[in-house]
Structure 1
Amino acid sequence: MNKLTTQLQKIVNDELAPHERVLWAGQPVAKRVAMAAFKLWLFFIPWTALTLFMFKEVYETSEGEFIPQVFLIPFILIGVWMLLTPIRKWFNARKIVYVVTNKRVMTIEANRQINIQSIEADKISILEKKMYSDGAGDLILSKEIYHHKTRAGNRDRDRHRVTEKIRKKGLFAVPNVKLVEDSIRTMLRENRS
């Protein structure tokens, strides 16, 4: 296992079934997870700046009236909350463990409660790799198409407007993605024989 905290190592060991062994375990690159969230800043920097400007203008022109200012406070809080998203994502990534065993691939999230998602070897439908220049990357293990109700889009048989979305399951922002891919291929070979 790659440099996991004692608490995370215990969670991984407790989750293993008899005769199941770890081929690879590690955590996502927290910096890469946080960087993906910076795209939100393109929207929320102007959002927050505009709401702060509006708050200042309302404060200066309201002549002691408090109601218009109270109306803007939730918009300011939303902006600040969204600007903090990369930091929240960075901290959350430090609580995620990816585990490849000889039988399955697990994603363990150890926040207030422990969430474990497993993909058994026979359920892995694809092995799609996206690699970055630093060797980190994403491994997509399955894709699921689902329908999302919306105001635009095609109609389903019940005449609801829906759009098709793809939910990707896999390991995201893993360090040394080639090593992890090799571990998954080893697991798949072992389970075919």
Structure 2
Amino acid sequence: MSTNDYAGKDTLPPELDQRVRSELAADERLVWVGRPRPDRFRGQTILLSFVGAFCGGVPLFIITVGLMVAVGAGPGGGLSGCIPFLFCLLPAPFVLLGGYMLVAPLWMPRHIRRIIYAITNRRAIVWEPAWFSDRYTVRSYTGAGLRRMHRADRTNGTGDLVFEEIYSPSSYSSNGGTTGSRHQIGFLGIDRVREVEELLRLTLMV
């Protein structure tokens, strides 16, 4: 393989290809590039839709009840006449957020297609796009940083190469404990995961 050839060449759209190349150092060359399969995140997408239906449905019900009460009460004077309508406005942002989550199957695949993975002769790189902007978080892993890497296989040959797990606490208990979620970082939902793992080990960990 020449220095201009690498696995996954010509598989990225021009704008993503340019983003990858702008990250490389002068003496750094690509070995492999790829992106996750959108169907890898189908479960999360469906769950997000259900959560959105609940988070948007409950506030919408509250707004509906509030409007019915306001209309039934008839016109009122002064501040007291505005209170029912002000009460109806409070849950409105949650309705919008719930609606956005409800239609996750429409926008989630596009977000996933913006994720980029790459292996160079010096490091493994993960580009994670922001949710509400064009910004990216770029994470790099050298051979030493991949010692705890593990693989999750699927029967169709796809899978995950997990480099690390980031724990995000969401609540704290009175005894000092925490609850939260773990965010996996790595090459998630890729085709031919075993071949990519072998290439990664031969390139950076030998």
Alignment of 1:151-190 (within 5 A): 151-152=172-173, 154-155=175-176, 162=178, 168-189=184-205
Residue 44 of structure 2, aligned match among 13, 36, 47: 36
Identity %: 24
CA distance in 2, matches of 1:187, 1:95: 25
CA RMSD between the two structures: 2.8
Contact 2:149/2:164, CA 8 A, preserved across alignment:
yes
Q: CA deviation at 1:105?
A: 0.5
User: Residues 169, 72 of structure 1: CA spacing in aligned structure 2 closer, same or farther, 3 A cutoff?
Assistant: closer
2:101 aligned partner: 82
Provide TM-score, normalisation by structure 1: 0.78
Q: 2: distance between equivalents of 1:124 and 1:153?
A: 36
- 1:66 is paired with a residue whose SS is helix
Counterpart pick for 1:93 among 95, 98, 112: 112
Report Cα offsets for 1:70-118 as digits up to 9, x if no partner.
1231221121122234443322212121001222100124662343211
Structure 1 residues not aligned, in runs of 5+? 156-160
- The alpha-carbon distance between structure 1 residues 67 and 148, as it changes in their structure 2 partners (threshold 3 A), is closer
Alignment of 1:124-139 (within 5 A): 124-139=146-161
What's the TM-score once normalised by structure 2's chain length? 0.73
Does the aligned pair in 1 maintain the 2:50–2:102 contact within 8 Å? no
Residue 13 of structure 1 deviates from its aligned partner by 2.1
Greater alpha carbon shift after TM alignment, 118-127 vs 44-53: 44-53
For 1:158, the equivalent position in structure 2 comes to none
* Further displaced range: 173-182 or 50-59: 50-59
Alpha-carbon deviations, 1:38-83, whole Å to 9, x = none? 2233333233233323322322221264222212312211211222
Unaligned runs of 5+ in 2: 1-7, 75-83
Structure 1 residues 30 and 154: CA distance shift in structure 2, 3 A: same
Q: Which one has the largest radius of gyration? A: 2
